[in-house]
Amino acid sequence: MQKRELLLGDEAVALAALDAGISGAYSYPGTPATEILEYVQSRAADYGVKASWSANEKVAYEGALGMSYCGKRALVSMKHVGLNVAADPFVNSGVTGVGGGLVLCVADDPGMHSSQDEQDSRYLAHFALIPCLEPRNQQEAYDMTREAFELSERFATPVMVRIVTRLAHSRADVVTSARREQNALKLPEDVSGYILLPSNARVQYDKLVKKYPLLEEVAAASPHNQISLEGDRRVGILCNSIAYNYIREAFGGTIPHPFVKVGMYPMPKAMIRRLVEAVDEVVVVEEGYPFLEEALRGITGAGKPVHGMLDGRLPRTGELTPAIVAKAFGIVSEIPFVPTLEKLPGRPPALCPGCPHADSFRAVKLASGDGPKVPIFSDIGCYTLSFYPPYNAVDSCVDMGASISMAIGAAHAGLHPVMCSIGDSTFGHSGMTGLLTAAYEKLPMTVFILDNGTVAMTGTQDTLLTGEALVKAVIGLGVEPEHVRVLSPLPKNLEENARIIREELEYKGLSVIIPRRICVQYKR
């Protein structure tokens, strides 16, 4: 039965996984991937699947691998930097191989709309020697995700589906196809492949390396990798999926040059070679890093002139747009209107009026007095927006959990007092291990855990560690109970809160201050 539905790219991936018969979906929130698990959750009862947030991406990936070990299909999704956190199980699941189909959907964020970098996950698929499918529209997001599960089971390998912000957060009409039943529970006949002792791991790694040429054959024959030798051969085009849309758009629908479009990896080398042989020069256009371009240039060059990000034909950073791609081919369209106001101020995101974090940082400021600013090592979440005026509060934000761990280094370096701030969800994600380290070493630090009862920045998903459970966890990690202080960050408590913070800043040991008030955007 076919149906036409209006779906975000994220939702198309989620629905395809449901229709492909997953038994579980695993994730940790992260823009632009969050809506994948949210969509699975919205239909979980109907499809009879498990779908809940994990404490972090590593836990999510391992949950999916455990489901797959039991013979059932699983989807795991995350944003690109989440895959850094999950890199250990990800790479090693290539070595173990899988039971039930295991598909990883990773959403890259070229242009850094909501991220700290624009890393390209295709490198990680290549690194782990697993296949990667790259949809160019919402329909392909649906179709390729379904195909990814088949591929995963056929080759006993995890499969990556790589999407980007523009696809993840863009809606289009999608035709869906019939639902498949879930797999039955079935344990592996030989578990040695999952026990990566060196003796087993060597056998498994050998299998993985031998699997790769088979995957190369599949990719070479895949309809997702397309070659055309029609048209003006003075220029040939090598591109990936989203870039292909912009190129067609620039040329009014039909590309007037020979081209290769890559939508499945391992990259189709023979196909690319045929293209290069047929043309005078090659322009490479990719959304992401110059992954294809670097391979094409190699060390000795492609034997023909190559243009792309590495020679400045296209920008090396940022997101592709139709205009950037058109310009790479010398096509410039008329722009009749430009901003008519003399000065156009930016409008960056800001803490909401009434945000609890604002009251927390005001109290910290009051407590620290008028002397030179004491740095606050901070973390990723809404509270990072306190970097902007009028707060100017935080002094670092690198990766999730880095606040407490960087503060440890600063304490070792002799800084005093040492302050750091982290949100409740980020603390559950990867702050606990830092705090355990600090408590074990009895370091003089003041740690703020900003408990707003939700994962606010990504859209108020459920946080796993909040309220009294958070206090218990902090004490359980070894912080002295009398130095775990819970505050109510409200304007009327400003003086009182500042007084408590001052007390703890004067204490020469480890203290944890928990300003606790629900996010004003939280509804439920």
Partner 1 sequence: MKQDIILAGVGGQGILTIAFMLDSAALARGYRIKQAEVHGMAQRGGAVYSHLRFADSEILSDLIPAGQADMILSVEPLEVQRYLPYLHRNAVVVSSVHPFKNIPDYPEEKAVLDALLELPRAVLVDARQIATAHKMPRAENMAMLGAALPFLPFELADFDPFIRAQFERKGEAVVQSNMAVLAQGFRTGMAVKERLDAGMPADVAFRETHPNP
Catalog residues that contact ligand SF4 under the rule CB under 6 A.
Answer: 351-352, 355, 357, 382, 452, 456, 519-521
Calpha distance 8→172 (Å, rounded): 7
Footprint on this chain of ligand TPP (rule: CB under 6 A): 28-30, 57, 79, 81-82, 85, 380-383, 400, 423-426, 452, 454-458, 463
425 or 497: CB nearest partner 1: 425
Interface map 240-279 toward partner 1 (x if CB under 8 A): --x--xx-xxx--x--------------------------
Q: In angstroms, what is the minimal distance from the CB of 400 to ligand SF4?
A: 16
Nearest residue to 322 (alpha-carbon basis) of 236, 255, 245, 262: 245
Binding partner at 166 among ligand TPP, partner 1, ligand SF4, none, C-beta below 5 to 8 Å by kind: partner 1
The answer to whether the beta carbons of residues 403 and 420 sit under 8 Å apart is yes
Piece of 30-38, 262-270, 417-425, 430-438 that binds partner 1 (CB under 8 A): 30-38
Long-range contacts of 427-430 (CB under 8 A, 24+ apart): 427/465, 427/470, 428/55, 428/56, 428/463, 428/464, 428/465, 429/28, 429/55, 429/56, 429/85, 429/400, 429/401, 430/56, 430/85, 430/400, 430/401
Between 508 and 524, CB nearer to partner 1: 524
User: Letter for the amino acid at 379?
Assistant: D
CB of 212 to ligand SF4, least distance (A): 45
Scanning residues 157 to 196, which ones bind partner 1 (CB under 8 A)?
166-167, 169-173
Q: x/- contact string, 406-445, with partner 1 (CB under 8 A)? A: ----------------------------------------
C-alpha 494/C-alpha 366 separation (Å) is: 8
Whether the CB-CB separation of 42 and 211 falls below 8 Å is answered with no
424 binds, among ligand SF4, partner 1, ligand TPP, none (CB under 5 to 8 A by kind): ligand TPP
> If binding is defined by CB under 8 A, does position 458 make contact with partner 1?
yes
Look at strands 264-265 and 132-133 and give their pairing.
Answer: antiparallel
| Shortest distance (Å) from residue 162 CB to ligand TPP | 17
- CB under 5 to 8 A by kind: which of ligand TPP, ligand SF4, partner 1, none does 82 bind? ligand TPP
Using the minimum distance from each CB to partner 1, give the nearer residue, 146 or 248.
Answer: 248
CB atoms within 10 A of CB 401: 23
Q: What are phi and psi of 7, to 5 degrees?
A: -135, 145
- Number of residues engaging partner 1 in binding (CB under 8 A): 52
Q: Choose the one of partner 1, ligand TPP, ligand SF4, none that binds residue 338, judging by a C-beta under 5 to 8 angstroms depending on kind.
A: partner 1
φ/ψ of 202, rounded to 5, equals -65, -40
Q: Residue 512 is encoded by which pair of tokens?
A: 């944890």
**357 three-state secondary structure:** helix
Under 8 Å between Cβ of 276 and 295? no
How far, rounded to the nearest angstrom, does the alpha carbon of residue 158 sit from its chain's CA centroid?
17
| Residue ranges binding partner 1 (CB under 8 A) | 4, 6, 31-32, 34-35, 113-114, 137, 166-167, 169-173, 242, 245-246, 248-250, 253, 321-323, 326, 333-341, 343-352, 382, 385, 389, 457-459
